[in-house]
Structure 1
């Protein structure tokens, strides 16, 4: 240790203590500084002969000031000492500094179990008052997928593969389709003529397809559902009409089609409104003799058809059994439930 440096520091301390006011207690007695522990001097010798000096506040301050925190830079875990700024002796409490966390990274066992049974955003944590970066980016991705599902279009290649023709409603564009649901419940005049000329009259089952509010749902699911439904109905010896696709259609459009074709049962495969869990969910609405003025209580629906819900192939096979039951009881919706009961 540099003895000259120690001598200089000691002299400065003595001079400082000699400048005290008469009202303040004197510290010029020959009592060692270490015994009173009121002044802390820390010298750290380095290879470059540089020294770091940390001194506590002067003992002349007697107000109730907050504790002064001194950190040992040579410690890798940054242990912390607390010294009082008053005349009282410093506390001997030493506590390691730990990184502050708003929320533990590990979630409880109950939350882990719940996450296995739902795709909902639970136990994702937060950073302060905001979601974590990974959670926020996933939210933005799901939101973008939902927007794409609504504004997207079903490809011509899929319609050709399914061998269906296309008709339109009275809607002119996507914005009008979203803001005017009533226009999506009526066919255009050209579409009425095309349906009457191409479709078989009085079919037992009429299958219709529509993008609805999710073109992604049709792209991902309709082929498997449609083919499985066809096979199921053929195995049950149930006649199927001429299938076609409706662009920008609503659920209640099945009533007008029922009037045009006088179908006994209509199965309407339509893309559902996307959410932030899945933008590819499709539903199948079924109704016995739908006509203009049919109430919603007479419709049935098998929803949540997608890879994370009801598997498309399984949904198609199940729809065949539902149609069989409807034809047997000649009712659907609450009427079917009443007759079954």
Structure 2
């Protein structure tokens, strides 16, 4: 078990002296990773709480600016492509550039990827490379096993560097899969910098409405367990193909 998983499993504690209802406070603490029950020294936060806040904030910043390691990506048969984001600073300021593939990547997708498959899997760093580092090894095999059980064919897996969610639309336009799932790092908060989301869509195309996407969020060891998340994604993709729809029109 890594350090992140150990922290997630630590029982939350409150520093509030003599609360009116200890049971209610304990129930609240167990229901959320948010900062509940922090106390103060005079008008200021306790030193240990302030240091914990700064550690978590630094972890979130690192997740945004770091990159997924090639050592991890080389363990999988990904075709690696990029959006037009150019730099990480530009990626944060210009979300639109993370939605469009470079011309070189477009050509790479056409040459190296299977077109018209039932399921297309896309992975992207998004706003948290740490989410991919921490969860991919559990989510990806579980998803493949689930799709195999349902008898669904899978295309060439893709990794997108500097991707936003709508990059799936551009990829869908090029490869025309029946359904596409993008596993992407979520915007890191101060409770977890390792949260992954799975965005799914039936026949994604450029210009599609956001209401046509189906999403599972908070996939990490302190939220939706990664192995369970991968299996659940496979079930949802099967329903999309059966119902020929996604988003608000999908019945799960």
Choose from 156, 163, 188 the match for 2:70. 156
Q: Distance in 2 between matches of 1:179 and 1:249?
A: 13
Find the counterpart in structure 1 of residue 215 from structure 2.
301
Choose from 110, 120, 143 the match for 1:229. 143
Find the counterpart in structure 1 of residue 242 from structure 2.
328
Find the counterpart in structure 2 of residue 202 from structure 1.
116
Q: Does 1:240 align with 2:159?
A: no
Choose from 159, 178, 183 the match for 1:264. 178
Contact 1:162 1:223 in 2 (8 A): no
1:104 to partner: Cα distance: 5.4
Instruction: Name which one, 1 or 2, has greater alpha-carbon Rg.
Output: 1
Contact 2:16 2:37 in 1 (8 A): no
TM-score normalised according to structure 2 size: 0.91
Contact 2:134 2:194 in 1 (8 A): yes
Contact 2:79 2:156 in 1 (8 A): no
Find the counterpart in structure 2 of residue 105 from structure 1.
17
Find the counterpart in structure 2 of residue 312 from structure 1.
226
Tell me which stretches of 4 or more aligned residues in structure 1 moved more than 2 Å: 103-108
Q: Distance in 1 between matches of 2:27 and 2:237?
A: 37
Per residue, is there more helix in 1 or in 2? 2
Residue 161 of structure 1 aligns to a residue in which SS?
coil
Cα deviation 1:100-120 (Å, max 9, x = unaligned): xxx953444121221122111
Residue 116 of structure 1 aligns to a residue in which SS?
helix
Q: Distance in 2 between matches of 1:304 and 1:336?
A: 20
Q: Distance in 2 between matches of 1:320 and 1:133?
A: 45
Q: Distance in 1 between matches of 2:63 and 2:145?
A: 28
Find the counterpart in structure 2 of residue 174 from structure 1.
88
Contact 2:84 2:97 in 1 (8 A): yes
1:138 to partner: Cα distance: 0.4
Find the counterpart in structure 1 of residue 48 from structure 2.
134
Paired residue total? 236
Residue 155 of structure 2 aligns to a residue in which SS?
coil
Contact 1:232 1:317 in 2 (8 A): yes
Q: Distance in 1 between matches of 2:108 and 2:16?
A: 62
Q: Distance in 2 between matches of 1:291 and 1:331?
A: 13
Q: Does 1:145 align with 2:63?
A: no
Does 190-199 or 158-167 show the bigger shift? 158-167
Cα deviation 1:105-162 (Å, max 9, x = unaligned): 3444121221122111111111111110011000000000000000011000111112
Find the counterpart in structure 1 of residue 196 from structure 2.
282
What stretches of structure 1 of length at least 5 have no aligned partner? 1-102
Q: Distance in 2 between matches of 1:226 and 1:104?
A: 42
Q: Distance in 2 between matches of 1:200 and 1:312?
A: 27
Contact 2:122 2:180 in 1 (8 A): yes
TM-score normalised according to structure 1 size: 0.68
What stretches of structure 2 of length at least 5 have no aligned partner? 1-14
Q: Distance in 2 between matches of 1:326 and 1:319?
A: 11
Cα deviation 1:276-316 (Å, max 9, x = unaligned): 00000000000000101110000000000000000000000
Choose from 114, 117, 123 the match for 2:31. 117
